[in-house]
Amino acid sequence: MSQSAEDGTRVVRIGAEQRRREEALTQRVLDAFAGAESPRLRQLMTALVRHLHAFAREVRLTEAEWDAAIRFLTDTGHITTGKRQEFVLLSDVLGLSMQTITINNEARGDATEATVFGPFFVEDAPLIGNGDDMSFGAKGTPLWVEGRIRDTDGNPVGGARIDAWECDADGRYDVQYPDDRTACRARLFSDDGGNYRFWALMPVPYPIPGDGPVGRLLQAAGRSPMRAAHLHLMVSAPGHRALVTHVFDANDDYVARDSVFGVKESLVRTFEDFPPGTPAPDGRTLDRDWSKVRFDIVLAPPDDPPDPDAAVEIAAEPPA
């Protein structure tokens, strides 16, 4: 039974028999998954069922809304191809991708925080040396990127593999170009002191694909599809946890409302701008504006790989 409150809210009163029916149904579904052979599958499915049913009961999901959800998922499936992953986009805008990354990159000392991997990484990027240019002629303002890689004990990490990639000044990655050009991506290694440096381009904000169901959801929710300007970095070295992260530009308005929640305060840096003629850190003199960012990176110790069939138990808080 329902009544309307004065502010237009629908007030629902749930009787004892109705509550009993809803709870009994959830329990029957939980019981049905109790026979799964893998303890982990059992845990995943029962937790999913508990939350899904709690969601539907709490919001009093209508049949029209259920229909709309089925249509939304169907549209999301039908727009998804080998080249476009709308389910990943959905997970991104719900913050689930970022939450999964946060869960799997646990805080360890002052280790650099991880963020989303994104769909634009390419395995065989060109190898460059320190100080080289990864823009490969793409359009944009030159950006000098430098930093030092160390572990959580303060020891420099030499020979760390760094993959860097980003969009050009038009907000496009090379894989989105109509031709096969490689641009704005490279692999390099830190030197013996753990230092790295290369030329890139100033990153710019760009929208995630807005012409599908996820774009329509963002629009209905009054949310921007823009990703905050960022440079992707993936850093790996033997004996350390691999890091997938971004560095963000403090002067970009979108750092406060990145559409996929990839921004962590600890990853935001001030990019310094220089006029033409100012000598660059590598001694060159550019006849145009250029910028510079320093991004020091701290690698965490490695994690034990989890047993895929083991259920998880969260330990009680240690006594304070």
Site residues for a second copy, 183-242, by CB under 8 A, read 220-223
Judged by CB, which is closer to a second copy: 99, or 278?
A: 99
Judged by CB, which is closer to a second copy: 219, or 278?
A: 219
Pick the closest to residue 301 from 99, 101, 109 (CA basis). Answer: 109
Q: Does the protein bind a second copy through residue 9 (CB under 8 A)?
A: yes
CB of 90 to a second copy, least distance (A): 9
Q: Does the protein bind a second copy through residue 84 (CB under 8 A)?
A: no
State which of positions 276-315 bind a second copy (CB under 8 A). Answer: 303-304, 306-315
Judged by CB, which is closer to a second copy: 28, or 211?
A: 28
State which of positions 17-56 bind a second copy (CB under 8 A). Answer: 17-18, 21-22, 25-26, 28-29, 32-33, 35-39, 41-45, 47-49, 51-56
Residue 242 contacts residue 163 (beta carbons within 8 Å)? no
Number of neighbours of residue 290 by Cβ within 10 angstroms:
21
State which of positions 144-173 bind a second copy (CB under 8 A). Answer: none
Pairwise CA distance, residues 186 & 143, whole Å = 14
State which of positions 87-126 bind a second copy (CB under 8 A). Answer: 87-88, 91, 94-104, 106-107, 113
- Please identify, among the stretches 64-72, 133-141, 190-198, 200-208, the one whose residues bind a second copy according to the rule CB under 8 A: 64-72
Number of neighbours of residue 46 by Cβ within 10 angstroms:
18
Judged by CB, which is closer to a second copy: 104, or 278?
A: 104
Provide φ and ψ at 20, rounded to 5°. -60, -45
**Separation in Å, CA 101 to CA 97, 163, 210, 232:** 6, 18, 24, 15
Judged by CB, which is closer to a second copy: 221, or 275?
A: 221
Judged by CB, which is closer to a second copy: 96, or 250?
A: 96
Lookup: tokens for 171? 């907000």
DSSP letter at 231?
E
Pairwise CA distance, residues 128 & 135, whole Å = 11
Beta bridge partners of 186: 164
Pairwise CA distance, residues 262 & 274, whole Å = 28
Q: Does the protein bind a second copy through residue 76 (CB under 8 A)?
A: yes
CB of 248 to a second copy, least distance (A): 14
CB of 166 to a second copy, least distance (A): 23
Judged by CB, which is closer to a second copy: 124, or 313?
A: 313
Number of chain residues interacting with a second copy (CB under 8 A):
96
Instruction: Name the one residue in this structure whose structure tokens are 């991708």.
Output: 97
Residues 6 or more apart whose Cβ sits within 8 Å of residue 242: 234, 235, 236
